[in-house]
Structure 1
Amino acid sequence: MTDPLHLAAFVQNSAVQTALWIGALAALLNGTIGVFTVLRQHSFAGHALGDSSSAGGAVAIFVGISALWGFLVMAWMAALAIAGLGLRRAQERDLATGVVLGATLGISALFLYLDVTTTQASGATVDVMFGSIFALAPQLRWPILLLVGTAVGIVLAFYRPLLLISADTDLARAAGLPVRRLELLYLLLLGGAAALSALSIGVILATTLLLGPAAAGLRLARKPWQSFLYAQGIALFAVFGGIYLAFASYYWSGGASWPVSFFVVVLILLCYLASAPFARQRPRHD
């Protein structure tokens, strides 16, 4: 049973309030973009952009700026590089993604080493790889809100074209849609979602927040638009639940809190497993 004192401390804690704000925004964006990613079978690209953003986080710590900008800029640069190296065929896409991923991981390794050896950021590696949502500055709420609001607005404006290129690229091309431009737009949106996920729960587990809720949402939904609502709801549940459980773990683990990312991933996994019976019940024509 929840201790009322612990619950009151949870609600009133300023670090928790910031974590809930930013976590909710990251969950909404990842739940939205994740549906397109799963439909496009673009899991490797989502994973790669999340990992690539680690280089930006490491560089940001080294030069002394907010990690948010490092994560975002590097994720967007990686998205542009993947698009520039070729997306016409799946083989080209995966090859381009792998090349970009390898290059950015090399940069990340260098700057994480420099962070630890030449600056005071001794915990830089842990912060970048596993997230530091309780340490995020409250001032980040507003730029992240602007970013997510803009991204969701773009999705609403281009919902049908983005859905069509995700479901059938050849059909979208036959319908006269500017497929290359839409794919670039999608990759930039994916980069933003992956960067926010990495900032919130860490680079190593960022893909889970992007793909897990979306995969479960697609199992549960009967119509395409429903999958977005289910994915967003599952992502919010996992992030809010993960933040609460990480906060509560301080009291039942001897004063050492467990990582938020661990709880988020466990909750997403449970939701995904719970959605399995609905996937088996889905008619073939869906």
Structure 2
Amino acid sequence: MNMTDPLHLASFLHNSAVQTALWIGALAAILNGSMGIFTVLRQHSFAGHALGDGSSAGGAVAIFLGSAALWGFLGMAWLAALAMGALGLRRARERDLATGVVLGATLGISALFLYLDVSSTQASGATVEVMFGSIFALDPQLLWPTIILVGVAIALIVLLYRPLLLIAANPDLGRAAGLPVRRLELLYLLLLGTAAALSALSIGVILATALLLGPAASALRLTRRPWQSFLYAQGIALTAVLGGIYLAFMSYYWSGGASWPVSFFVVLLILLLYLASAALASRRRAKH
């Protein structure tokens, strides 16, 4: 099968489900690329993982209640972020303990409602939808709420870029500079929860961390300038998500009518781009 067949490209570009997936996927990529930089700099990947996995409880509850999964993912991610902030923010050990407690609690809720989804509502695809995403099945009505969410999040990141970057590098310096570190920490966790929820909605909770951390880790290998790292991370995340959607759609034609998961292709592209960035960074060091 020729992947550049104009008939297939036309069907890809004009398919309404694909258009919704492209828009929401792109928005999730932009936010995750941005928040991933702060998360990697803070060495806070466990929190990102916990918020992504923890949001599964909200997705399971939303499916059980028959509402849009976005609000479930988002609501539980925000609750988990607030709980993590309340339980411990100051010391690394406190943060890890709080993160572990919240992760365990939310996974327990997720297991309960996924069981109820299957046993009570006969929603047999609920587990797959929550764990691996269903980006081609997203309701087009979710597009504008997602645009608003990401727009507000990016605006906050731009406005508070320097304070957020400072407390990511060294919270003690932030306190010495008179910054409201605790409030900024809570805001960071809420923004991280938003990014994790959108990632979980797009590619599933199991693989959500890859979209948050992979592009950021690649970008930080390529440049030492913070503002450039944000642009690189966003570009890498966009390439992985949009490329993954394209490959998943086209896999229908080369695999005999059974499309492969979007999440597989997104994570594969993130891995390949990370390896490419590592090789490029190594070549640069060798030249110097």
TM-score by length of 1: 0.97
Cα distance in 1 for partners of 2:206, 2:182 equals 29
Which runs of no fewer than 5 residues in structure 2 stay unpaired?
none
Q: Secondary structure at the match of 2:256?
A: coil
Q: In the alignment, does 2:46 pair up with 1:33?
A: no
Alignment of 1:250-269 (within 5 A): 250-269=252-271
What letter corresponds to residue 183 of structure 1 in structure 2?
E
The residue that corresponds to 2:228 in the other structure is: 226
The code of the aligned residue for 2:19 comes to: Q
Matched to 1:231, the amino acid is: A
Aligned letter for 1:108?
S
Aligned to 2:155: 153
Q: Please state whether the residue corresponding to 1:254 is helix, strand or coil.
A: coil
CA distance in 1, matches of 2:94, 2:230: 29
Pick aligned residue for 1:168 from 163, 167, 170: 170
Change (3 A) 1:162 1:281: farther
CA distance in 2, matches of 1:4, 1:73: 41
Once the two structures are superposed, the pairs formed by residues 85-164 of structure 1 within 5 Å of their partners are 85-164=87-166
Is 1:82 the counterpart of 2:101? The answer is no
* Gap regions ≥5 residues in structure 1: none
**Counterparts of 2:11 and 2:177, CA distance in 1:** 56
Residue-pair matches, total: 283
CA distance in 2, matches of 1:108, 1:222: 39
User: What corresponds to 2:70 in structure 1?
Assistant: 68
Query: CA-to-partner distance for each residue in 1:59-114, whole Å, 9 max, x for gaps?
Result: 00001110000000000000000000011100000000000000000000000000
1:277 is aligned to 2:246:
no
Work out the CA distance in 2 between the residues paired with 1:117 and 1:126. 15
Answer with 117-126 or 145-154: which moved more.
Answer: 117-126
| 3-state secondary structure, aligned to 1:29 | helix
Tell me how far 1:221 sits from its aligned partner: 1.8
Counterpart-to-counterpart distance in 2, 1:279 and 1:149: 32
Per the alignment, do residues 198 and 185 of structure 1 end up closer, same or farther by CA in structure 2, a change over 3 Å counting? Answer: same
How far, CA to CA, are the matches of 2:100 and 2:211 in structure 1?
A: 21
Match of 1:236 among 235, 238, 261: 238
Corresponding residue for residue 206 of structure 2: 204
What is the percentage of aligned positions where both structures have the same residue?
81
Q: What value does the CA root-mean-square deviation take over the aligned residues?
A: 1.0
Letter of the structure 1 residue corresponding to residue 143 of structure 2: R
Alignment correspondent of 1:14: 16
Partner of 2:216: 214
Q: Deviations over 1:19-48 (max 9, x none)?
A: 001000000000010100000000000000
Q: What is the deviation of 1:171?
A: 1.2
Match of 1:245 in 2: 247
AA aligned opposite 1:194: A
CA distance in 1 between partners of 2:88 and 2:242 (Å):
38
User: How far 1:184 moved relative to its partner?
Assistant: 0.4
Distance 1:21 1:234 in 2: 16
9-18 vs 215-224, greater mean Cα deviation: 215-224
- 2-structure distance, mates of 1:175, 1:222: 23
Question: How far does residue 120 in structure 1 lie from its aligned partner after superposition?
Answer: 3.3
User: TM-score, normalised on structure 2?
Assistant: 0.97
